Structure 1
Amino acid sequence: MLSGICLVLLTLFTTACQVNDGPPSPYEAGAYIVNAGTPSAGNGSISYFSRRTTTLTGDIFAVANGRTLTGTVQDYVEVDGKGVILVDNNATGLDRVEIVESGTFKSIVTFQAPDVENPRFVVYAAANKAYVSCWDATLTGSGYILVLNLASRTIAKKIPVTKGPERMVVIGKEVFVGSVGGEQVLTVINTDTDELVQPGIAVGANGNPIALDANSNLWAYVSSTNEMVRINPTSKIVEARLKVGSGPKVLSSITLSADKKQFFFVNSFNDPADNGRLKGETYRFSINDTSIPATTPFIRRLFSGLGVDSGDSRGLIYAAVTPSFNQPGYVLRYQPSGALVDSFKVDIAPTRFYFR
């Protein structure tokens, strides 16, 4: 039901790779691109880009299974040889989680409503275990973390959490869970017991964990105060709070570099002088910075998603472009220096990336 995504009309780029319309061979090292699709149209998909051949295969679920995902694709992750796809729909009762073979994308099992409602993010929690953050069916009550046992292909548990659970970061045997429902703390869950660890970490309203950096610190973004917050994940103590820029701009697509020493993020705003058009640029900051002024753009472009390919020795940045909700999107690849490498066409509304 949470299918709307704020994106912007952007200039098209000429593709810099080949497009393969035929059946794919078993997938090797490369990038999965999550394409949300047109809101309410049910045409979300996942594209696959091979590092070795620089070949793009579109809608690989449909290619492998002869049917589409039929919804807005929210997220994708792999857990011990299995891919977990989150599919959201505007209509009640149609949300689901698709489990596929990661090498072929052949469907294995599908979990559906009412067990799955408004799936948001998925993470590898432990061996053969995935956590899925879900809103409740009405969008007004407490959410839950869906625990999937991928060995037995069953739902092991639903862990009740606060309203609007969102991003999750796994550190050792703990999962840190954020939210957008007004909660003041990050929820912590023990992955051995699938139980809450009390108390949570007080960060401010609508905080979401982002990643663990090279110094073993956890970073979270608190949208209510527009701050990046640095946390010691062992002591659960907030060590620093860094205000991001000034004015009404909003952070999105916050992504850690391959060496885990800097973050990239999109800073955007709706321009009232241009009929509320979404505008912005992409910035970066070091994990050792004491402030984030966000005054000099790293890349002078607004993107609908960012990802860093840590499996590639170059540590390339993948940046998603959504020209509109009615035409294919693009992915631009950049060197860590910000130099453009190439670009290629994907499906509608690319938003997230998974690298293997």
Structure 2
Amino acid sequence: MRSIINKLSVFMMMVFVAVIAISCEKDEDIPPDTGLDYGDGIFIINEGAFNSGSGSVTWYNREGAGRIDNLYQKQNSLVPLGNTAQSMNVINGVGFIVVNNANLVRKVSLKSMQQMDQLENVNLPRFLIGTDNNFAWLTTWDNKVIVFDSENLAIIKKITTGTGPEKLLEVGEEVWVLNQGGYSIDSTVTIIGKQSMEVKQTLMVYPKPTGIQVDKNGLVWIICSGHGWNGWPDPTDSRGHLVCVDPSDYSVVKDLEFPATDQHPEKLEINSTGDILYYIYPGGIYKQETNAQDLQLTKVVNRSGVFYGLDYHHSSDVIIACDAGDFMQNGWVFRYDQTGALIDSLEAGVGPTDVCIPK
């Protein structure tokens, strides 16, 4: 009798697990094994709760439908993406996902989201770009830029920068690296020769440079947040600045100062024609025309609080903003047209921070 009861209990447990599994699948419009080319869609990089190991990738098709959560994990035998996913970029049709606290970069197929290789033992990696010589340039919080071959991941050189390098950008024959400060504050930009891989110049700007773009005239724009953090006012806070630099001689063409010491601009994107900049500022998303002589503070998107991430999709001229919420439950990604009209809102994972649209 006990044997029958035990068998019945096991059977009921199996049914219960199956029901739970089926109910969980209903949250997603498309299962991950449909043979889709994921490279045709939208990848949302979610940090996850800090130190939880729950970084993830949320996928949507280009129309903002067919959501798949935890895409990387599902396509890689349930192996977690890693602790604190930071950013994603594409080099020569291949995806690179930077996982900060796990000290690694995952090289993945865009079509399948299956891992092809990984770069390990890089100290707190942050952001990555590819240059036209097939090299990848990666910022790390041990104050280095690591240059590696995007094909075989062989490290070519480690270049010393300022403190806490973050965003970086290819500017002609140079790579400009923003030194945000890591756990402290930095106010510099390290300029590196692309071919020599040597530091050519260290440009002094303002505290916490967080975004960099090149306009249609080839001028470099850098946004600096200033001392302090939004929502945490302190007597040591300083004003943010939007600085325009001529890369031919590193001279400052414009220096636009923000009005308040306790409100800090963050991130920087530019439209497809290279004449309008977008940035995050308390109250929403703002824009700046590159030919304007003064700071315009023109609000495009009205929102209480501060967005966590900002991207711009040049093929469709769409502004993309990440709202991380409380880092305990799912956040959201919002898409807007150039006028600030909401196109749609996409539910993400925990702590959405970056959006990658390969095509």
How does the TM-score come out when normalised to structure 2? 0.81
CA distance in 1: counterparts of 2:70 and 2:194, whole angstroms: 33
1:56 Cα deviation from its structure 2 partner? 2.6
Contact 2:173 2:193 in 1 (8 A): yes
Contact 1:283 1:297 in 2 (8 A): yes
1:70 Cα deviation from its structure 2 partner? 1.9
CA deviations 1:245-295 (Å, max 9, x no partner) are 324101123222232221222213xxxxxxxxxxx322211111222253x
CA distance in 1: counterparts of 2:64 and 2:354, whole angstroms: 21
| Larger Rg belongs to | 2
CA distance in 1: counterparts of 2:213 and 2:41, whole angstroms: 21
Q: 2:294 aligns to what?
A: 291
CA distance in 1: counterparts of 2:53 and 2:42, whole angstroms: 23
| Aligned mate of 1:310, from 314, 318, 323 | 314
CA distance in 2: counterparts of 1:156 and 1:259, whole angstroms: 35
1:117 Cα deviation from its structure 2 partner? 0.6
Q: 1:277 aligns to what?
A: none
Between structures 1 and 2, the one with greater helix share: 2
Q: Which amino acid aligns with 2:112?
A: T
1:243 Cα deviation from its structure 2 partner? 0.9
CA deviations 1:163-198 (Å, max 9, x no partner) are 21111011122100111234443111122222222x
Contact 2:32 2:71 in 1 (8 A): no
| Aligned mate of 1:135, from 137, 141, 160 | 141
Q: 1:187 aligns to what?
A: 190
1:108 and 2:116 correspond: yes
Count of residue pairs brought into register by the alignment: 313
* Aligned CA distance change for structure 1 residues 184 and 343 (closer, same or farther; 3 Å): closer
Contact 1:169 1:209 in 2 (8 A): no
Q: 2:168 aligns to what?
A: 168
| Aligned mate of 1:20, from 30, 54, 64 | 30
| Aligned mate of 2:92, from 80, 94, 111 | 80
User: Which structure's relative contact order is higher, taking Cα pairs within 8 Å and 6+ residues apart?
Assistant: 1
SS of structure 1 residue aligned to 2:74: helix
CA distance in 2: counterparts of 1:120 and 1:299, whole angstroms: 27
SS of structure 2 residue aligned to 1:148: strand
Contact 2:59 2:67 in 1 (8 A): yes
Unaligned runs of 5+ in 1: 1-16, 137-142, 269-279
CA distance in 2: counterparts of 1:346 and 1:76, whole angstroms: 15
* Aligned CA distance change for structure 1 residues 135 and 53 (closer, same or farther; 3 Å): closer
* Aligned CA distance change for structure 1 residues 46 and 222 (closer, same or farther; 3 Å): same
* Aligned CA distance change for structure 1 residues 59 and 245 (closer, same or farther; 3 Å): farther
CA distance in 2: counterparts of 1:308 and 1:240, whole angstroms: 23
CA distance in 2: counterparts of 1:330 and 1:184, whole angstroms: 31
Unaligned runs of 5+ in 2: 1-26, 227-238
Q: 1:206 aligns to what?
A: 208
Contact 2:174 2:193 in 1 (8 A): yes
- Equivalent positions of 1:109-124 (< 5 A) are 109-113=117-121, 116-124=122-130
| Aligned mate of 1:326, from 328, 332, 342 | 328
1:100 Cα deviation from its structure 2 partner? 1.3
CA distance in 1: counterparts of 2:64 and 2:343, whole angstroms: 15
CA distance in 1: counterparts of 2:315 and 2:70, whole angstroms: 23
CA distance in 1: counterparts of 2:91 and 2:348, whole angstroms: 24
| Aligned mate of 1:99, from 66, 85, 107 | 107
1:205 Cα deviation from its structure 2 partner? 4.0
1:208 Cα deviation from its structure 2 partner? 4.6
Contact 2:268 2:278 in 1 (8 A): yes
| Aligned mate of 2:66, from 30, 34, 55 | 55
CA distance in 2: counterparts of 1:200 and 1:49, whole angstroms: 40
Q: 1:44 aligns to what?
A: 55
Q: 1:249 aligns to what?
A: 263
1:18 Cα deviation from its structure 2 partner? 7.3
SS of structure 1 residue aligned to 2:217: coil
**CA-atom RMSD, angstroms?**
2.1
1:102 Cα deviation from its structure 2 partner? 2.5
1:127 Cα deviation from its structure 2 partner? 3.3
Q: Which amino acid aligns with 1:77?
A: N
Contact 2:206 2:241 in 1 (8 A): no
1:53 Cα deviation from its structure 2 partner? 6.9
